[in-house]
Amino acid sequence: MEDMLVTLGGYVKFFGDRNVFSQEEQEKIIKKYNEEERKKLFILKPLYQRSIIVAAGPLANFALAIVIFLMINMFVGKDITPAVIDEVFPNTPASVAGLKKNDKIIYIDGKEVKSVLEVSSLINSSFSESINFIISRDDVEISFLLKPNLVDSKDPYGNKVKKKIIGIKLFIKNNKFEKKPLGPADSLYYSVKEVWFVTSTSLNYLVKVVNGSADSSQLGGPIRIAKITGQVAEHGIIPFLSIMAYISISLGLINLFPIPMLDGGHLMFYFFEKILGKPLNQKIQEGFFRIGFILLISLMFFVTFNDLKEIGLF
């Protein structure tokens, strides 16, 4: 029988480190090493150094996303197509509110619209029942409050999604987006802004899922990620790099959750250690780890169920 290497994940264990240990066990661990080796022991490092080391992993995920967006903005360009309305469909929220052809959308819920591509993402990332639009009409800014329709739809790759629709078609000259390569400073600004937008929107969505006011079926796991990544990859290297950046942001965000076994859980323990002046005792740490394990397993089963339902197995 041939041996096979199956990569299911990775874990970095620091020199002499354990997740949970009593003071007595810690002393036994320290005694195992000589004075030179003790200088390298993670458990003997100052609290601030341990915190920086643990936080470095998730922060690297955010940094990778920023670098990817930075390269795209500099060498491919950022879309600058203005969000001008080409058509308002009858009997829709937009027509009822009074939006008209040639209106230029400049703000959605207080966020400036710099590109036609931002309109859909800002509408669908809003958790307000009614969305505030500020448009420019004949050089005059006018405010409108619209309540979008929530409809079952499909994304560009054929996956089922729920979308908020207001009933407009935006003008895109010759069906081509206007892209403008940006300088390093502007590229960095918009890259950080994109990472922050994705992070804050994801956090808002998760809060809404927990309190029951958002659709939890949109949560996906490895199966859905693999499916979407494969679909996006067929459209070229730039869409593929973009989806990698979004996945990297998600990984960094999840890893910062205050759940034991995740980096955020370790940071939570360090926070308590800073406040109390000493680590939490072994029983309390073990209790947190059991709760964290249950939460992670429950989340894993939930997103896997969503993934399987998405591909029609349920």
Residue 48: inside a domain: yes
Provide the pLDDT for residue 21: 52
Do 312 and 253 share a structural domain? yes
Roughly how many angstroms between the first and final C-alpha of the chain, as a whole number? 35
Among the candidates 153, 180, 207, a domain finishes at 180
- pLDDT confidence of residue 260: 82
Mean pLDDT by 10 residues, the chain (314 residues): 49 63 63 77 85 93 96 93 93 94 94 91 87 94 93 72 89 85 95 94 86 75 76 84 93 91 89 87 84 86 79 63
- pLDDT of res. 89: 94
Is there a domain that residue 2 lies in? Answer: no
Q: What is the DSSP string of 255-295?
A: HTSS-TTSHHHHHHHHHHHHHHSSPPPHHHHHHHHHHHHHH
- The residue segments making up the domain with residue 113 are 82-180
Q: Do 198 and 130 lie in a common domain?
A: no
- 36 and 149, same domain (yes or no): no
CATH number of the domain encompassing residue 141: 2.30.42.10
Q: Does any domain span residue 7?
A: no
End residue of a domain, out of 124, 147, 180: 180
Query: Is residue 262 in some structural domain?
Result: yes
Residue after which a domain boundary falls, among 116, 151, 180: 180
Query: What's the domain count of the chain?
Result: 2
Q: Are 97 and 145 in contact (CB under 8 A)?
A: yes
Same domain? 167 vs 194 = no
